Amino acid sequence: MLAARMVDGDTPLDRAMARFATGEDAALAEVYDLGSPAVFTFLQRLCRDKPLAEDLTQETFLHIHRARGLYRPGAPVLPWAYTIARRLFLDSVRSRRSEVQEGHASDAERLSPHDVVGESRSAEDLLADAELTQAVDDALAQIPEAQASAFRLLKGEGLSIAEVAAVMGTSKGAVKLRAHRAYVALRGLLGKRVERNGP
């Protein structure tokens, strides 16, 4: 499944959150089901550690749960969730820096059996996607976190520049610059990989 393009307050996730915020407790599971794949994928690519990504996803949605009375109806939920997730990730890096540096998930772990992928795709397509994702993830791990996050949120998660600026707490110009730097770095790193592997 592709990440849904976020339109202000008009996605099923935003509507579920609006119901939860007005007191419908049962909508929390729907909020989690609709929002956790995007947040979990984002976190997994950031920290490259599946159990940690699951823990941080849980913390992200627990935070949203606790703050439900603060939710402004109509606000897009995913940029909010990404901001919380990124903050939790950075906190976890600070407190467990050495663990995170050594905690790269294995190749098998990175492609979860719970992938939300259309069943009609061929095994070759899946393999090619997985290899490309792996190569991009490896390359993104080598560049500064701020650049990698800007690139992931813009190109990977499909957020607008304004939304990424909100998530990262920076200006729109800085987001463009970071994404451009990430793009240039990726082109260099992936280019080297192509040269090494041959055409």
Partner 1 sequence: MSILERPSANARDRFLQAAASQTASRPRAWLLRILLAGFGALAWLVAMLLVLGIRPDWNDLPMPGLATTIVTLLAAALLASVIGLARGRSMVGNTTEALSIVAGVTPILLLLLVTVVDARGPSTLANLAPMPHAWPCGLLVVLVALPLLGIGRFVLRGLVLSRPGLAGACLGLAAATWAHLLLRVHCPIGGPGHAVLGHLLPLLPLMALGAWAARRR
Is the Cβ–Cβ distance between 140 and 183 less than 8 Å?
no
28 is a contact residue toward partner 1 (CB under 8 A): yes
From candidates 7, 10, 12, 67, binder to partner 1 by CB under 8 A: 67
| Residue 57: DSSP 8-state | H
26 is a contact residue toward partner 1 (CB under 8 A): no
Q: Estimate the crossing angle of helix 77-95 against helix 50-66, to 10 degrees.
A: 130
195 vs 199: CA distance, rounded Å: 7
Residue 54 C-beta: closest distance to partner 1, Å: 4
Nearest to 38 by CA among 77, 90, 87, 9: 77
Residue 65 C-beta: closest distance to partner 1, Å: 5
Nearer to partner 1, 33 or 192 (CB): 33
Nearest to 53 by CA among 17, 5, 100, 94: 100
Residues 172-191 that bind partner 1 (CB under 8 A): 172
Is the Cβ–Cβ distance between 149 and 46 less than 8 Å?
yes
94 is a contact residue toward partner 1 (CB under 8 A): no
From candidates 114, 119, 197, 199, binder to partner 1 by CB under 8 A: 114
Is the Cβ–Cβ distance between 29 and 84 less than 8 Å?
no
Residues 73-92 that bind partner 1 (CB under 8 A): 75-77, 79-80, 83-84, 87
Could you give the string, one character per residue 137-166, with x where binding to partner 1 holds by CB under 8 A and - elsewhere? ---------------x---xxx---xx-xx
188 vs 199: CA distance, rounded Å: 16
Nearest to 157 by CA among 8, 41, 16, 32: 41
Nearer to partner 1, 19 or 195 (CB): 19
Interface contacts to partner 1, rule CB under 8 A: 1-3, 8, 21-23, 25, 28-29, 32-33, 36-38, 40-41, 44-45, 53-54, 57-58, 61-63, 65-72, 75-77, 79-80, 83-84, 87, 112, 114-117, 129, 133, 152, 156-158, 162-163, 165-172
